[in-house]
Structure 1
């Protein structure tokens, strides 16, 4: 049979793996464990698209590679099924979210089966199922009991289209919603938060993990640690001190004005009758934080009419209000030092404020223009001549001794806002007594289920508030007049701990089995870089908080993190919300799962991705058929040549190294070279067949299983170990020859430097690519340029 019958073979081996539970893990044995995890899917559409396949196929190839290295590999799969994407899909199709989500999961699960991945489906999790979100609610209660969950009123990011609150991380730099694209507005609401800021300092530590440098940098920048001083400025004619945080206390002699956030509490104590000032404040509060922090926008401000006193020199300095100062960072007030900060300089020039110079790049050097670096203090009294670092320490000592300031560490990171005014999410396990006091729902009542009698379409208020069943349930358990919390949790809460539940999903009475902790943390996590400051940060916080509660015995959730590239369509990321997805199903039906997997891996480096183009898939399909024919060649009893051995062992070496680095495209390229080298022969070495199938098995699992069985083996090829290469066959002085036919390049081959002329010419003519151009023609001249080229002249 010359053609690979992929349909029958792939169905056969998928059934074999399922019936024989080949991928089911015995959690009692954690020896040599390897937890390989890929970010799970949102069932916010009815099918997986090619972007999903690009993540799941290569990730499974890596899992199979680790298994053949001798690791005990656990690779689970599940569905991140709560949240806005799934709910919006249901609204769009006028179906209840539970119904549409379950239907979508069924279709996606069927697609995932066809990948042929080694998923342990016995540990599947679905975050919208009560048996899962029971433990999400348990997690909330534990955080609440440990003062890591709290409620407060705050100005929040409100999405007017999705009718819900967004975390800062879900608002784009242009002030629009990441999901709906709507312009986000500010709205005061009582909200639930997780106190992630308690772990801000520890979250900056990445010791013991292998993560992309860019992701680490993104998290560190998001956390935004800064060390400086908190300084008190008295307000002239008021019994009031404004606290200012600064990272450059050494420049205090250069302060010429103070700027307050529009929300600053001092502003409320001012008797402002100016309509202009009030309008400026109202306009500022209508913007979200990202809009206000935008470095490219024009800085605006307004003078309050009041003055502060610089504590080191007694100068009166004007107090301004500006929208670029945030109440959520530092103290909500900054000191303007226009001589040594570009933003302050631009503000001072715009509003004609004084500019003093107090730092010079050279000692005892006078300057008359802005200087933004570190240097030496000038015009600064007792700080004169000190370098920046010593001046900082000196002024902090002075401030502390005079009780008007102190050293301070500050963070940009804000607490995690987790409440949402939507239906399709985990209910928050809190109830309120008739006096409005909060009470936790005891664990015996978990899961606190989502009610069904809800108008779930967004109206600007929490849909659970319309449920009669939920109110009745609350009063039956807690008493008349008691009311339930009607917000639900952000879907990122569900995904912040799902990797923990995978190894415990069959356990009903508690979230974690201490005997299974040896399977944690995750050894390899694969997913998109877009989650750097959300899911990946939240999972680290949850892991550390559960560790401190005594439930976990490790510090980090994911030891190794890898970001796959993005598959785009016409330059834009494939997304169900954009409607620009490409379905993998038609390609799997036409060419098979192995062909589609190999094609995606061959597109380019796994961490780069690329724009979708299916033109090369037929070439990959031909390659798999070449493998099929090569393994079906009759066996030969001849001894392999040294060059044959070199090609085999070089292939083993290169593919093993490439797979370990997830360089799937170059691994496939090397396998192609192997097949091309041996194609065109009448027979083939049996031991070469076995070695090659083992090395290519992670890349094309169905094909490898079938051909392994064809060679007379009864067990799965994935019970085998990867072959080892031997350096003795690689240490050969080699020459690469290119072959021309009538002066045009038609092929190339590598030989030992000691190879004789006649054998070189013979190899040139036997090259599979060259032979096509020799068929039916006569060679009238053979030209050999030693160590370089063979040219065959034909008629």
Structure 2
């Protein structure tokens, strides 16, 4: 055995051996319990970063432990390979997105293999491969058959940089596109949608079943779905058009004195009179240039234009004007509101600016509000007034209060109905770019939209395109690809030239892993129902809404199509923290220039900006090129080895917390693995642990066995609970120390401890554990060994320390039987040599015994 631990000499050797043995292949064998361990698959950018390494290491430990516990484990990997970043990168480099993407996949796959992660590579998928997107297109056709995929003209978010639409979910709080960072614009375009709103109630209700998810993620999804209860009420215009509004306060209908439509509302053009057209069109143009965030700011000055038309309030037949204003958004509710200025501050400000009526219908107790003199809206409780059948009823949403009574009145008079509304909108999936899944639909002048026949799938993405990133989809310029006969009637027709949102690809990839090589079906229902749901999913919190919500939607839809027999895709979810590196920040500079990498700081104790001399702040921030604080995985591996990198990642912080990279702590884990190596070197060279197994165990042997099984218990608890790998690694260190300090190294219990240490270490540091296991003389892989189980008897303590006090002052400790009762403890303490030094010849007035802890003697002075 080599005297020194040399990671480079063993890591590639064992990776090749494991690959040859097929050690990590998932077995479709229902005789064993299954466990599906999954990390969110990466976009192939070309290089792994430490965030990837952390995510994949966490999942790998879980997968390895479950295999050792007797599970058949599915632990796959693939590539989220379509999308704008690849297309834009290819344009910048003058290459093709396919070439760029597959080069990156090859590079990153090599890096993942170098990490020794226990993936079943036979199940690898890439979403840009035709054998994958064939089935993405098939799923789209299933949505189309079910009436849940449809086209409509709608106000959409247009990214002026990426030259494509983006879904509402892909616009951040600042009104910027999640990819390019550009302020989105509003445009009216005909686009493809998936009717996710049909599943809004299920998606919300089933959050309560996800007991293995973080509460914060469930709350984020619930808020995004955004259920509100109230009533739908239909106003009628003077011209006879219906204007439906949703309101959470139908009791205030009698106080509605005007209506406001979104500038994008489809009835605006119809309702606008000739005299108002110029003003309305100018306002619409101005509103389209604003972000939703700008339009929703509460304290900005209200703007709007009257359409020239009126509506009839259905509860009192009052004639009220119809306005448009940009604080009403087409993407929320119905794009139209009833305005109740006395009880809503935005409506109040709008009414005061444009001299519109204010009618009080909720009167607070002890006051007499007057709409003419009101200085701000009253949103609180009170009693209903000026409200016909609701007069005198307490205002509010409780039983017997005004909201309940108002809904009953509307339903009895057929003027409205109680309902729920959701913030969630249908999912806009059209993208006007090239690198994505072609939408399998054909537009026929006679038949309309015709689905591509399943026998003609996949609709292959052509490669002979000119990419510029401007002027719409390049697919539209390929006449030979676009122009096809209608599959229904044979008339010359055209393919759809949009591609799908890449979140479509990632909404079902976890299902394909269960049957990744099936050429006849999207997957075999028997196999997918056997492996699913995913038992442990690991990924970033940034996917808490979009990816997870869409994946849940797809799962429920495919269940309803008879392909799945489960409701939710992911039983447990772990959102790992970010990896942060040390950098320096100049708070006096703009965001772009404020970061000063540590290698540019001359004096870390007193850091100053090398350009300005100003003091710098020392901070840990998420690793990035701009901050100059990244750590390349390959550099860490070259210096320390893979297992040291894994141990540091697992030890430094709990998986859900951010991890601060620290070279000193990496060194610490390297030293620990070197100690384990030396421990085994001594064990093998000195023939330790081969003593006689017969006879009674000594105290030293009992103590060591207790340390062994304490480590088993604590590490098992850490893994079975919330994956507290940091404390599990601490237990490995404690066991290593106990073995090093043991005075019974000839005992077979010492051999038990050494072998247990290596088996427990194996999921965390798989390469060194495999090497040491074979050095111990074992032929079979350590990763095929059963994970150790605790022996409860080994944890039983025969003797315990007992503190001896005299007059409340501690004098030392003695060892006593753990089972001793109070009488025996008093006797043993009184007769001990330690106590006699202090109580001999003195009168004992009182003895205080605290079982298992101390005996205190109160004596005469």
Q: TM-score, normalised by structure 2?
A: 0.80
CA RMSD of aligned residues (A): 3.1
Q: What is the match of residue 336 of structure 1?
A: 339
- SS in structure 1 at match of 2:23: coil
Q: What is the match of residue 639 of structure 2?
A: 590
- SS in structure 2 at match of 1:202: helix
- SS in structure 2 at match of 1:632: helix
Query: In structure 2, what is the Cα distance between the partners aligned to 1:471 and 1:370?
Result: 57
Query: In structure 2, what is the Cα distance between the partners aligned to 1:445 and 1:135?
Result: 12
Superposition pairs of residues 151-300 of structure 1, within 5 angstroms: 151-206=151-206, 207-209=208-210, 210-235=212-237, 238-268=239-269, 269-274=271-276, 275-295=278-298, 297-300=300-303
Superposition pairs of residues 341-420 of structure 1, within 5 angstroms: 341-348=344-351, 351=354, 353-359=356-362, 370-373=377-380, 376-383=383-390, 384-386=392-394, 388=396, 389=398, 390=400, 391-420=402-431
Listed one character per residue, the Cα deviations across residues 469-492 of structure 1 (whole Å, up to 9, x for unaligned) are 424776999967332221111111
Q: What is the match of residue 724 of structure 2?
A: 663
Superposition pairs of residues 119-158 of structure 1, within 5 angstroms: 119-158=119-158
Listed one character per residue, the Cα deviations across residues 57-111 of structure 1 (whole Å, up to 9, x for unaligned) are 1110111122222221110011111111222222222221111111111111111
Q: What is the match of residue 768 of structure 1?
A: none
- SS in structure 1 at match of 2:154: strand
Q: Cα gap change, 1:628/1:277 in structure 2, threshold over 3 Å: closer, same or farther? A: same
Instruction: Give the conservation status (yes or no) of the 8 Å contact 1:643–1:751.
Output: no
Q: Cα gap change, 1:46/1:599 in structure 2, threshold over 3 Å: closer, same or farther? A: same
Q: Which runs of 5+ in 2 are unaligned?
A: 371-375, 584-619, 692-696, 804-812, 819-827, 830-852, 855-861
Listed one character per residue, the Cα deviations across residues 626-648 of structure 1 (whole Å, up to 9, x for unaligned) are 11122333324484344433332
Q: What is the match of residue 485 of structure 1?
A: 496
Q: Cα gap change, 1:489/1:360 in structure 2, threshold over 3 Å: closer, same or farther? A: same
Question: What's the CA shift for 1:674?
Answer: 2.7
Q: Work out which of the two has the higher radius of gyration on C-alpha atoms and give 1 or 2.
A: 2
Query: In structure 2, what is the Cα distance between the partners aligned to 1:25 and 1:166?
Result: 38
Query: In structure 2, what is the Cα distance between the partners aligned to 1:49 and 1:736?
Result: 53
Instruction: Give the conservation status (yes or no) of the 8 Å contact 1:130–1:447.
Output: yes
| Residues 1:626 and 2:694 aligned together | no
Which of 529, 533, 543 matches 2:541? Answer: 529
Q: Tell me whether 33-42 or 393-402 shows the greater mean CA deviation.
A: 393-402
- SS in structure 2 at match of 1:62: helix
Query: In structure 1, what is the Cα distance between the partners aligned to 2:301 and 2:381?
Result: 26
Question: What's the CA shift for 1:582?
Answer: 3.4
Question: What's the CA shift for 1:650?
Answer: 2.2
Q: What is the match of residue 424 of structure 1?
A: 435
Listed one character per residue, the Cα deviations across residues 715-768 of structure 1 (whole Å, up to 9, x for unaligned) are 12222222222444545586799xxxxxxxxxxxx99778999xxxxxxxxxxx
Instruction: Give the conservation status (yes or no) of the 8 Å contact 2:157–2:186.
Output: yes
- SS in structure 2 at match of 1:132: helix
Query: In structure 2, what is the Cα distance between the partners aligned to 1:645 and 1:359?
Result: 75
Q: Cα gap change, 1:231/1:727 in structure 2, threshold over 3 Å: closer, same or farther? A: same
- SS in structure 2 at match of 1:515: helix
Q: What is the match of residue 651 of structure 1?
A: 711
Q: Tell me whether 531-540 or 667-676 shows the greater mean CA deviation.
A: 667-676
Q: Tell me whether 70-79 or 304-313 shows the greater mean CA deviation.
A: 304-313
- SS in structure 2 at match of 1:559: coil
Instruction: Give the conservation status (yes or no) of the 8 Å contact 1:339–1:371.
Output: yes
Query: In structure 2, what is the Cα distance between the partners aligned to 1:452 and 1:241?
Result: 49
Q: Cα gap change, 1:6/1:407 in structure 2, threshold over 3 Å: closer, same or farther? A: same
Instruction: Give the conservation status (yes or no) of the 8 Å contact 1:228–1:247.
Output: yes
Query: In structure 1, what is the Cα distance between the partners aligned to 2:305 and 2:488?
Result: 55
Instruction: Give the conservation status (yes or no) of the 8 Å contact 1:80–1:494.
Output: yes
Listed one character per residue, the Cα deviations across residues 665-693 of structure 1 (whole Å, up to 9, x for unaligned) are 12112222332344366874110011222
Superposition pairs of residues 46-65 of structure 1, within 5 angstroms: 46-65=46-65
Instruction: Give the conservation status (yes or no) of the 8 Å contact 1:81–1:101.
Output: yes
Q: What is the match of residue 720 of structure 1?
A: 785
Q: Tell me whether 239-248 or 686-695 shows the greater mean CA deviation.
A: 239-248
Query: In structure 2, what is the Cα distance between the partners aligned to 1:675 and 1:371?
Result: 69
Instruction: Give the conservation status (yes or no) of the 8 Å contact 2:538–2:576.
Output: yes
| Residues 1:705 and 2:738 aligned together | no
Q: What is the match of residue 823 of structure 2?
A: none
- SS in structure 1 at match of 2:568: coil
Which of 556, 581, 587 matches 2:568? Answer: 556
Q: TM-score, normalised by structure 1?
A: 0.87
Q: Which runs of 5+ in 1 are unaligned?
A: 738-749, 758-786, 789-795
Instruction: Give the conservation status (yes or no) of the 8 Å contact 2:27–2:72.
Output: no
Instruction: Give the conservation status (yes or no) of the 8 Å contact 2:704–2:742.
Output: no
Question: What's the CA shift for 1:174?
Answer: 1.0
Q: Cα gap change, 1:374/1:714 in structure 2, threshold over 3 Å: closer, same or farther? A: farther
Which of 735, 746, 753 matches 1:674? Answer: 735
- SS in structure 2 at match of 1:491: coil
Listed one character per residue, the Cα deviations across residues 311-346 of structure 1 (whole Å, up to 9, x for unaligned) are 444555443322121223322221223443344344
| Residues 1:504 and 2:515 aligned together | yes
Q: What is the match of residue 450 of structure 1?
A: 461
Q: Cα gap change, 1:682/1:296 in structure 2, threshold over 3 Å: closer, same or farther? A: farther
- SS in structure 2 at match of 1:180: coil
Q: What is the match of residue 616 of structure 2?
A: none
The higher-RCO structure (CA 8 Å, 6+ apart) is 1
Q: Cα gap change, 1:280/1:579 in structure 2, threshold over 3 Å: closer, same or farther? A: farther
- SS in structure 2 at match of 1:482: strand
Query: In structure 1, what is the Cα distance between the partners aligned to 2:655 and 2:515?
Result: 31
